[in-house]
A and B are shown apart, each in its own frame.
Chain A
Amino acid sequence: MKLAKPAVNDRGVVLFGTGAELTEDIIARLSKAGVKRMTVEGHPVNTDGQEKDLGQEIAELHDRFRSVEKDPLMRKIRGFFVERLKERAKEA
């Protein structure tokens, strides 16, 4: 298991860089040093069903734009965010 992002403590100090291999011992030490969250490479682990699918994310995005959806500029901007959601889904 490798770090996908640097491990930082609660003061923002980088303790372990991207790509570092994590072992149980290292995780315990980082946790002791104030690191409360680590991002690892690969697809997210079990999120208790909280991970949203693309369709749901797009539907929620449309809902947030509901009061401005008739405006051409706002529709265009919404399109950029939809496009980004689709790209991110592909990247995953």
Chain B
Amino acid sequence: MTVEKENFRKRVEALINVPTLEGVLEKIKPLMDSSNAGVEDIATIISSDQVLSAKILRVVNSVFYGFPGRISSLRHALIILGFDAVKGLILSTSVFDAMLAGGFYGLWEHSMGCAVTAGIIARKTRDPNPEEISIAALLHDIGKVIIKTELPEESSRIDQAVKENQISTYDAEREILGFDHTTVGEWLCQGWNLPDKLADPIAFHHKPDLSQFAQRPTAIAHVANVFVRAIGFGFGGDNLVPQINSAAWEILDMSDSLVKEIVKEMDGKLEDAEDFLAANGIQM
């Protein structure tokens, strides 16, 4: 039996303001949607919530581990990363909480690994916005978190189907739910009004050729997901390396030597990420 899609969509949309952030979110959302809002306005509101500020900085420094000088204030994060990225970051802090609360450590590691790898690919291919792409990659599996927390019974059946039938989580979700985590992620992005450069990698990281508005970030998130699964960092729900989409591969146009450099850098940076996770009490 499949889950009634429209009903579940409504449930996901109702979730948007649920995490521990209601007060701050309510204040920030209009500011972020407004073109007149300044860094100071947003930084002041976020800084008024020390827990949220600490969480955002924790994610910033974990994703950009090794960022020169480290990001030590919200103002600094907003200036360097821009509003859209910080909006994604606020969402990522609630994802981080949900993953830890639910014990989904493997999925958090996988997400962090993708963020780090997407940043490497973006920089190596001279993309102008590597930080934004990292955040998109960090959030790419947000739909899986929602499925795990909101549909625990179906989630267990998905895990069982992955094991018994040796299929990917993506295929198992489609079989059991009638839709998959990319669709759920897309609903969340729509509710949050996330820009296409963050929403498309979440919605289309399995089918990057469907991205209309952010082809390059989506291609990078797609390849980062494949590479992180290849290296075996974290656990995205199954241990299968997915097929690389040829259109996405062509967009990135990477030479063999560049791919080798990326793999080498991944190896070192993921080790750093592992250290960071251990420092935060998450053992691989």
Interface residues, chain A, CB within 8 Å of chain B?
5, 8-14, 34-37, 39, 60-61, 63-68, 71, 73-74, 76-78, 80-81, 83-84, 87-88
Contact = CB atoms under 8 A, between A and B. Distances in A.
A64 B244 contact: no
Contacts of A34: 279
B231 interface: yes
Interface in B57-84: 57-58, 61-62, 65, 70
B264 interface: yes
Chain B binding surface SS class: helix
A35 B279 contact: yes
Contacts of B100: none
Given A5-B275, A77-B230, 4 more contacts: A12-B58, A78-B241, A84-B264, A88-B267
Nearest to B64: A12
Interface residues of B, number: 35
Interface in B75-97: none
B209 interface: no
Nearest to A12: B61
A8 B61 CA distance: 11
B263 A84 contact: yes
Interface in B206-254: 226-227, 229-232, 239-244, 246, 249
